[in-house]
């Protein structure tokens, strides 16, 4: 049976790599906002955005943390930009078993961009003085049940891999940091 339809604002951050100068302010503010207590520390390793930097080639590409992937993918891509070949996983958004990116340094739990939930504007967008990150919003109709189902599947996969207690502890930390 289909669930109730409800309107939802979909936020997208458009990335203009030509404007990015690799300053990493986005990484700093993201990690500070998600620290517990909020703004108590900043460690870009905890950021949900990462800037691929090749200063000699003047290449800077911000990548957001996307969904958690419980298994490595089988098909991969290689990118060549200005003659330089990038690692197959370089621009991937997933937190997955084959690499360390987008994982909480202490717990190893996956990180995902939450658009700075509770803030009017994502903080990385606000702090990017070069307009490399631009917020776009559109309204879409979604089914309430579908949303809940996706959340349940995500939590189940995390609990299976990391253990329920570790996931619960991380969620508690996240809610403390949001209140703080």
Among the listed residues 130, 154, 162, 166, the single contact to ligand SF4 using CB under 6 A: 130
Q: Compute, in degrees rounded to 10, the torsion defined by CA atoms 86, 19, 8, 33.
A: 80
In angstroms, what is the C-alpha Rg of the chain?
17
Q: Residue 4 or 129: which CB sits closer to ligand SF4?
A: 129
Binding segment for ligand SF4 (CB under 6 A), chosen from 100-108, 109-117, 148-156, 165-173, is 109-117
Answer yes or no whether residue 59 interacts with ligand SF4 by CB under 6 A: no
- DSSP secondary structure string for all residues of 129-145: TTS-EEEEEEEEEEEHH
Tokens of 52: 């691929």
Answer yes or no whether residue 94 interacts with ligand SF4 by CB under 6 A: no
- In the three-class reduction of DSSP (H, G, I as helix; E, B as strand; rest coil), residue 136 is classed as strand
Q: How far apart are CA 74 and CA 77, in angstroms?
A: 10
Binding segment for ligand SF4 (CB under 6 A), chosen from 29-37, 67-75, 147-155, 158-166, is 29-37
Q: How far apart are CA 60 and CA 118, in angstroms?
A: 28
Q: Residue 50 or 167: which CB sits closer to ligand SF4?
A: 50
Q: How far apart are CA 8 and CA 25, in angstroms?
A: 29
Among the listed residues 52, 133, 167, 170, the single contact to ligand SF4 using CB under 6 A: 133
The residues of the shown chain that bind ligand SF4, judged by CB under 6 A, are 20-26, 29-30, 33, 48-49, 51, 60, 62, 64, 113-116, 122-124, 127-128, 130, 132-133
């Amino acid at each position: 049976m289909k669930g109730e339809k409800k309107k939802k604002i979909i936020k997208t951050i458009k990335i203009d790599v030509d404007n990015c100068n690799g300053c990493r302010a986005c990484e700093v503010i993201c990690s500070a906002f998600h620290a517990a207590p909020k703004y108590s520390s900043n460690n870009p390793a905890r950021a949900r955005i990462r800037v691929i930097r090749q200063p000699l080639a003047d290449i800077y590409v911000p990548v957001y943390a996307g969904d958690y992937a419980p298994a490595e993918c089988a098909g991969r891509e290689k990118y060549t930009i200005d003659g330089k070949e990038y690692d197959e996983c370089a621009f991937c958004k997933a937190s997955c078993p084959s690499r360390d990116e987008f994982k909480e340094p202490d717990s190893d739990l996956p990180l995902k961009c939450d658009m700075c939930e509770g803030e009017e504007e994502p903080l990385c967008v606000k702090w990017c003085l070069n307009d490399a990150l631009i917020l776009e919003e559109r309204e879409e109709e979604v089914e309430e049940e579908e949303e809940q189902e996706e959340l349940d599947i995500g939590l189940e996969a995390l609990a299976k891999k990391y253990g329920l207690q570790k996931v619960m502890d991380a969620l508690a930390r996240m809610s403390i940091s949001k209140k703080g």
